[in-house]
Structure 1
């Protein structure tokens, strides 16, 4: 009998209270021959401050979904299976690696109180209902971008095989403006950091919406391949992402888009995902993978129109993990907080190689949010009619494989060895540390000289003078 069945309420056996208190809510997944016994070192990157920000009462983006996710991860004791890192903010210089100086300056200066003074800039920088001005907006951007950069550093240094930052994945932000609830594009910044030492990066996006900001940033290069699964009808936000968007110039055929219709179900989505990703990885041969795991592609999402359940969404993450390539997993969309947190907790368990009991822990804070079933896997399917016919999906698969046919071999890149930023500290902080070490060295020299004098004095014979 497995641990999961032992803890199931429907089981014939029930542990006593003391046993139940010390019984974990997960069991290790036994590696099979197929996965080669891959047991990655997983790191979890977070900053508790990021969940405190608020877009507005009626705005669908709710950062407190990250707090619910962290509570679930801790409630299931998944933190015991990973390295935990509380991340620092991204610096202005790091944000400027992708975004324009005038846009970052605008984010620093704008507040709800002074926004009337920036009437022209509000139009220039696309500030409105989707991307409102709220208290601490620039700080919020620094926190989630800093976590993605920290996760990328752990992959570069080899300290992690898989790094997780659920606060990241804001894939719509452009170089000069915010878009679709996204103010700075942490994904692009993480990719730029990884490109310092990795020759080829594969970006996979399973959000409901097209990952247009990331695609646009790398549309002209063959070192980053973007693959996005999303709803597309020409009108649905952001209005891009048809299968004929394949890249330009050197980047031609290094953008792959999978446009889907309303109501796609678990079986159809997972089968299509695997049939596309397997040849992509085989042909492109990435040295690192970033997967954006937007939860708005789940069924019953506030802004969603798919019928995916949590296990199907997680199966896509599990499949990418199975290739054993260094991997950065990020959040993204998701507008029903209780389901967002369920999904990202489950996918954390998939990446950490453990299986969770479907019944939520009794001691979980905010457990009432998950009523009435208090389950990790509620039924989220069958809400929408599936308009993705077998003929449509077969034709789409043929078209996508035809696009991949042009990738005869993985692009080669001449690389120079760049020492990774292992310390994850800013230049200012590094200068302060150097100054402190110098001062401590001077003190140590003085103390060494004093100790030498005292020792010699103690060793001298009676009546002997010591200079």
Structure 2
């Protein structure tokens, strides 16, 4: 790596031209500077601040110079309504914390909260709908960018909220930005592949496309007594979508070697048989080792290997965030996966940044996974691999989309590229401005198993 100590300080480095892959990609990176201001509440494990931390690492590593950085245009209520029901969108756009508190004293209003599954796991917080608009707007914008051919890879770490349903919130998710992004991709592309490596099953996306062969969903997740409780290997879709939903149920302690041994052959076969025109990868970081709610044991490099592998197919690729509740590790992961997207390798020593103390005492990009046991037995994983590969072998190759009039393409207003070289002044975390990453007040109830 080319050192720039005068500019970045002792531990920082800027990716040099010699470090790039031979096959480069144009990467558009969506980031809303206010995203870290949204706050689910004290003790709640979902912290949008992790996206600001990841972005800080992206900037201090100098990755922004290899990206087209774009501030997303917030989705409108009508944009959100392309998937979600009108009454649910109306509720999200008008509800406030005060109204939610008052609703508990009114039986009919309280039933509305229950109807839309708003409560402990999915609280009403200040700016809730604006948060949803930013997340959804960036994923729609990412799809538009890929549709236009303006980028080969589009990144939105504020997206990936895969549990939201058509008419209700679920698992810290209110608006399903993934579904909205895929619907935009389907205006141009015949077939879209959705891959989910969050520790939780991507139930909201699977449900949305369960009856169509134009979207194949593949989810690698913890299965059993774990939120949301869906994603059995026998869940395969219905009607025209039969066999176009693929579920890979796993146990605790999943490590890099075991995960790679399933992911690569299954995705290789999917790409050969389904031949998608575009791919959406949900990079939920709660499958990393040491996550506060997760139970897998992946390293940052093991997690990013999924990005690297899908990137190798040279198909338009959308990278989205998702779960992830040990926020220092989420920031490490999504920064590194941004580097994988542009084809560079980063120094392990973290550059000094405004959140530097979060990453102590090692202050490195790659941390060692824990020594927890891998409860996924090799013979069981082999059975899963064989079963799924056999099922894929029986699929018709590359199902064709019916001829139809192409719907109008969303026009997202152009945003000027921001000068990311102008960075905020570094300051050390004072332990008061944000919830501590080591906060032990995480609920050990339903919320402890839910995820974004």
Scaled by the length of structure 1, the TM-score of the pair is 0.84
Q: Which residue of 2 aligns with 1:290?
A: 280
Q: Which residue of 1 aligns with 2:378?
A: 390
Contact 1:264 1:386 in 2 (8 A): yes
- Partners of 2:386 and 2:191 in 1: CA distance: 25
Shift of 1:29: 6.2
Q: Which residue of 1 aligns with 2:46?
A: 61
| 1:247-299 deviation line (CA, Å, top 9, x unaligned) | 00100000000000000111111121001100000000000000000000000
| 1:212-239 deviation line (CA, Å, top 9, x unaligned) | 0000000000000000000001x21000
| 1:96-154 deviation line (CA, Å, top 9, x unaligned) | 00000000111112111111232110111111211011111111101110011111110
Shift of 1:20: 6.7
- Per the alignment, in what secondary structure is the counterpart of residue 51 of structure 1? helix
Residue correspondence of structure 1 range 67-466 to structure 2 within 5 A: 67-115=52-100, 116-117=102-103, 118-233=109-224, 235-362=225-352, 364-382=353-371, 384-415=372-403, 418=406, 421=409, 423-425=411-413
Structure 2 residues without counterparts, runs of 5 or longer: 104-108, 415-452
> CA-atom RMSD, angstroms?
2.0
- Partners of 2:265 and 2:239 in 1: CA distance: 27
- Partners of 2:135 and 2:29 in 1: CA distance: 13
Structure 1 residues without counterparts, runs of 5 or longer: 8-14, 427-467
- Partners of 2:97 and 2:254 in 1: CA distance: 40
> Greater CA deviation, 370-379 or 104-113?
104-113
| 1:359-380 deviation line (CA, Å, top 9, x unaligned) | 0113x11111110000000112
Alpha carbons of structure 1 residues 19 and 161: separation in structure 2 relative to 1, 3 Å: closer
Alpha carbons of structure 1 residues 375 and 249: separation in structure 2 relative to 1, 3 Å: same
Q: How many residues align?
A: 408
Q: Which residue of 2 aligns with 1:440?
A: none
Q: Which residue of 1 aligns with 2:426?
A: none
- Partners of 1:41 and 1:332 in 2: CA distance: 23
Q: Which residue of 2 aligns with 1:26?
A: 15
- Runs ≥4 residues deviating over 2 A: 15-32, 414-423
- Per the alignment, in what secondary structure is the counterpart of residue 195 of structure 2? strand
Q: Which residue of 2 aligns with 1:50?
A: 35
Shift of 1:28: 4.3
Scaled by the length of structure 2, the TM-score of the pair is 0.87
- Partners of 2:6 and 2:397 in 1: CA distance: 59
Shift of 1:420: 7.0
- Per the alignment, in what secondary structure is the counterpart of residue 60 of structure 1? coil
Contact 2:9 2:351 in 1 (8 A): no
Shift of 1:25: 2.9
More contact order relative to length (CA 8 Å, sep ≥ 6): 2
Contact 1:265 1:381 in 2 (8 A): no
- Per the alignment, in what secondary structure is the counterpart of residue 44 of structure 1? strand
- Partners of 2:211 and 2:303 in 1: CA distance: 30
Rg larger for: 1
* Structure 1 or 2: more helix by fraction: 1
- Partners of 1:301 and 1:230 in 2: CA distance: 14
